[in-house]
A and B are shown apart, each in its own frame.
Chain A
Amino acid sequence: MNAEGNKIPLIEVKGLCKDFEDTQVLKSVDTVIYKGDTVAVIGPSGSGKSTFLRCLNCLEDPTAGSIWFDGEDLADMRVDINKHRENIGMVFQQFNLFNNKTVLQNIMLAPVHLQTKKAGGIFAKRAVKAEIKARNRETALSLLRRIGLEEKANAYPSTLSGGQKQRIAIVRALAMNPKVILFDEPTSALDPEMVGEVLDLIKQLADEGMTMVIVTHEMGFAREVADRVLFMDDGRITEDAPPAELFTNPKHPRTAEFLSKVL
């Protein structure tokens, strides 16, 4: 929010459509993600939540519509999508830590690579490269300290629990200093006893004012943490309201039906 209490748009989605071959998965989605907001996306399985999220950083290229971010339309194939992805973190259901890298390397790989590239790539001075590495190592270690996994810095992902993997995946996104983080069911692949530690970390980020879009089936979490909840059904956002409103007084019968099943 700025001084007048108005919210500043970070991502503006207009008429977003996505087809896979001949099936229409997203049927014109319009929404705005505001700076500092935590937006939960809920809805029945197969309704297009993941596809919507993956269109926001163009892991899926939109079929039609626009996604305005940082003054550019990401749906335009001519924009440098890599540049924007640096500012849009993503956390996956299956963690997707790099299996061939240690925890520290997982966190450092992208920032070191991209900063070195900006400093001249392979032509960068050795001292500059070393400085970039050292600085990112410090950042990575302090992030690991924050989640209490500093002693796992040199461990490989295969030796970690699901909860540890997911928290490291979140920290890997944070290391890029993104403007927004997208979460696709971050706790769905976890054993029940590990869900809490991951949700706690996400909650902390929400409190710190990180902008987040979270696809989730954890209704209690959505209700507690989200500023807004989007309900998706059959490729559309059919309801968009603060959690207190959406959970207690849904406008659409489909929303009510879905909530009665999951609550």
Chain B
Amino acid sequence: MQKNKSLRGFFRRHWMDLLVILAVIAAAIALAMSISQRFKFDLKWEIFCEHFFENNGYKKVLTGMQNTALIAVFGLLIGIVIGTLIAIVKVIPPYKKLVRYGQTVCNVYVAFFRGTPIVVQLLLGYYILLPLLGVSLPPVTSCMLIFGLNSGAYISEIMRGGIQSVDAGQLEAARAVGLPFSTSMLHVVVPQAVKNILPTMGNEFIALIKETAIVGYVGAVDITKAFQDQGDNSYEYMIPYLVMALLYIVIVAVIAALVKLMERSLSKNERRRK
């Protein structure tokens, strides 16, 4: 009885608020319905389903997902290798001339890839540079390469921060037992740096997945291109584009969750390991 009474009290106190909330919900439903009527949502949905399921649109989307994943994963891997090398070159004490030249080259590299839009890099790379070099690669492979070069520039900065966050005593201790600079970096400093920047790497991967949406410019079929093509084929773009956005959100959310899981298991290891 007590509960009932308090419930009645709640209604008495908040009937105005409840009324407003109901009105808002009703208005939203009405709006959605009028929009859906005006835009002929049911018809569009039918067309979408027809092209997606019956005309094998989903196959193209699956290919697109695969290509997006390939470009992002290999782009990241290439980027990690290049980024780590650049970061190491940048932290070598610049005693030797060769080192200073190397550092200049790295600075120019990073400035170029951070200073121009990725679309420009893609167009330059695919239509100008690769043909000039006499290399003919399929679009997806070219994209992996160019995205790898691009993310290498960004990852080098992340990695340099990671290396600098490792206590200087670690490198000194390694050098003091007679290990060369390169060995000390690869066995002692870089592994600790990588652990420090792992969460940032997860974000970099997510950014990469979203950035790959432009590979249609050079004829690679990724998620975006697949849905665009379906729009072009059916002359209906609204639903394909909405579904495309939804698909990206789901993929990004799943990866973000995985990154978080990995982070947590890493810090757990640290405490548990004996």
- B170 to A82, Cβ gap below 8 A? no
Cα distance, A162 to B149, chains bound together (Å): 44
- Which A residues are in CB contact (< 8 Å) with B180? 82
Question: Size band of the A side of the interface?
Answer: 20 to 34
Q: Which residue of A lies closest to B171 (CB)?
A: A96
> How many Å from the CB of A154 to the closest CB on chain B?
6
Is the CB of B118 closer than 8 A to any CB of chain A? no
B-side interface residues, number (CB < 8 Å): 22
- A96 to B169, Cβ gap below 8 A? yes
- A100 to B195, Cβ gap below 8 A? yes
Q: Which residue of A lies closest to B194 (CB)?
A: A100
Given contacts A83-B178, A98-B187, A109-B179, 14 further A-B contacts (CB under 8 A): A59-B176, A88-B176, A89-B177, A96-B167, A96-B170, A98-B188, A99-B170, A100-B188, A100-B192, A110-B174, A110-B179, A113-B183, A113-B187, A155-B274
Q: Which of A85, A94, A113 contacts B175 (CB 8 A)?
A: A85
Residues of A within 8 A of B (CB): 57, 59, 77, 82-86, 88-90, 92, 94, 96-101, 109-110, 113-114, 154-156, 158-159, 169, 172-173, 176
Cα distance, A114 to B95, chains bound together (Å): 24
Cα distance, A96 to B173, chains bound together (Å): 6
Assuming the contacts A59-B172, A100-B191, asked whether A113 and B179 have C-beta atoms less than 8 A apart, the reply is yes
> How many Å from the CB of B197 to the closest CB on chain A?
14
- Which A residues are in CB contact (< 8 Å) with B174? 98, 109-110
- A85 to B169, Cβ gap below 8 A? no
Cα distance, A13 to B102, chains bound together (Å): 35
- Which B residues are in CB contact (< 8 Å) with A98? 170, 173-174, 187-188
- A173 to B270, Cβ gap below 8 A? no
- A172 to B177, Cβ gap below 8 A? yes
- B176 to A90, Cβ gap below 8 A? yes
Q: Which residue of A lies closest to B188 (CB)?
A: A98
Q: Which of B167, B173, B178 contacts A114 (CB 8 A)?
A: B178
- Which B residues are in CB contact (< 8 Å) with A77? 95
- Top 7 A-B pairs, shortest CB-CB distance: A86-B178, A96-B173, A110-B177, A96-B169, A85-B178, A90-B176, A100-B191
- Which B residues are in CB contact (< 8 Å) with A86? 177-178
Is the CB of B5 closer than 8 A to any CB of chain A? no
Q: Which residue of A lies closest to B192 (CB)?
A: A100
- A92 to B177, Cβ gap below 8 A? no
- A97 to B173, Cβ gap below 8 A? yes
- Which B residues are in CB contact (< 8 Å) with A158? 270
Assuming the contacts A98-B188, A100-B191, asked whether A82 and B178 have C-beta atoms less than 8 A apart, the reply is yes
Question: Please, what's the 1-or-0 string for B155-190, where 1 marks a CB less than 8 Å from any CB in chain A?
Answer: 000000000000101101111111110010001100
- A176 to B177, Cβ gap below 8 A? yes
Q: Which residue of B lies closest to A154 (CB)?
A: B274
- Which B residues are in CB contact (< 8 Å) with A90? 173, 176-177
Cα distance, A110 to B184, chains bound together (Å): 9
Q: Which residue of B lies closest to A77 (CB)?
A: B95
Cα distance, A89 to B177, chains bound together (Å): 6
> How many Å from the CB of B98 to the closest CB on chain A?
15
- A159 to B170, Cβ gap below 8 A? no
- B178 to A99, Cβ gap below 8 A? no
Cα distance, A96 to B169, chains bound together (Å): 6
Q: Which of A83, A85, A99, A100 contacts B177 (CB 8 A)?
A: A85
Q: Which residue of A lies closest to B173 (CB)?
A: A96
Q: Which residue of B lies closest to A58 (CB)?
A: B175
Q: List 12 A-B contacts (CB under 8 A).
A: A57-B176, A59-B172, A59-B176, A77-B95, A85-B177, A98-B173, A99-B170, A100-B192, A154-B274, A156-B273, A156-B274, A172-B177
Cα distance, A263 to B189, chains bound together (Å): 41
Question: Please, what's the 1-or-0 string for B22-53, where 1 marks a CB less than 8 Å from any CB in chain A?
Answer: 00000000000000000000000000000000
> How many Å from the CB of A74 to the closest CB on chain B?
13
- A92 to B173, Cβ gap below 8 A? yes
B124-162 contacts to A (CB < 8 Å):
none
Q: Which residue of A lies closest to B274 (CB)?
A: A155
Assuming the contacts A158-B270, A172-B177, asked whether A92 and B192 have C-beta atoms less than 8 A apart, the reply is no
> How many Å from the CB of B274 to the closest CB on chain A?
5
- Which A residues are in CB contact (< 8 Å) with B170? 96, 98-99
